């Protein structure tokens, strides 16, 4: 009996109980297909960890700068009239 990807992902994440964990370990020793799936999931997890790492940007400062820019910009029909001087 092979395990589905969800169960293997739970195994990687440590979200399963000990008895099922032991069953999966034993199964992985004999099943090449599930071992391959597990390695693919490990590689995917590793890739996602690297891709989703947080940057060193100060989020509060970024929000402040965005709000300043938004509030500074004039919008609407009257702004267009002033800008293009076509009434």
**pTM summary value:** 0.58
Helix crossing, 5-13 with 32-51: angle to 10°? 60
Residue 50: how many other CB atoms lie within 10 Å = 8
- Digitized pLDDT (tens) for each residue of the chain, 87 residues in all: 899 999 999 999 999 999 999 999 999 999 999 999 999 999 999 988 887 776 677 788 888 888 887 776 666 666 667 767 655
The 8-class DSSP code of residue 52 comes to T
């Amino acid at each position: 009996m092979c395990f589905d990807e969800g169960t293997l992902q739970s195994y990687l994440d440590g979200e399963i109980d000990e008895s099922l964990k032991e069953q999966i370990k034993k199964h992985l020793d004999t099943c090449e297909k599930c071992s391959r799936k597990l390695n693919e999931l490990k590689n995917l997890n590793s890739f996602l960890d690297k891709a989703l790492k947080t940057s060193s940007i100060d989020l509060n400062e970024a929000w402040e700068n965005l709000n300043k820019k938004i509030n500074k910009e004039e919008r609407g029909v009257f702004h267009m009239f002033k800008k293009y001087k076509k009434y």
